Structure 1
Amino acid sequence: MEIKEGKNRFYVTDATGNEIGEVTYSDVRDSILSIDHTFVDPQYRGQKIAQQLIKAVVDKAVIDHKKIIPACSYAKAQFARVKDYQQVEFKG
């Protein structure tokens, strides 16, 4: 499975090219992103796809020296669980 990057999103496709999961984010300010949506097709849930998509956004934020507002419920849960994510979480 390969995570692909699009405009303000990361996504995953199955072997036939159908999109099976995505995470979207928006620019709040020059230095802040907001993760606003995470979705994985129900038949692919339980494979940690959503976790990998959130990590892709976190990795991008680290590289780009940005902070993240975890706005969607899944992102909020991941940021609460994964201590390393707190380094990029916006605490404004």
Structure 2
Amino acid sequence: MTKRIQLQIHARQARATELTDALLCYEPELVFSTSLIRDYHLDTQALSASEQVMGYQDTLFYMIVIEEAELEPLLAFLRKTLTKASLHYQVVPIIQQGII
């Protein structure tokens, strides 16, 4: 049985179009979801002046479900394609999934 994982990526809105385009061009074809979220940072240097006043940064959150073996090729592709993106990501195991 193959192990499925979820790759989660946080992208500033300025980088969202570039990341979305890269994911749409990736082979094999990916299925992913995005959500607009508010990222609260302890490191205020990462925030613009207006974001520092608001206390958060609007960010796009990407959720990509793939086979574990597909992770490193996808990350290598993103690193090569998005050379100056500085995207934060995490990998989460999928313990169970289905339809209720």
TM category (shorter chain) comes to 0.3 to 0.5
TM-score scaled to structure 1, two decimals? Answer: 0.33
TM-score scaled to structure 2, two decimals? Answer: 0.31
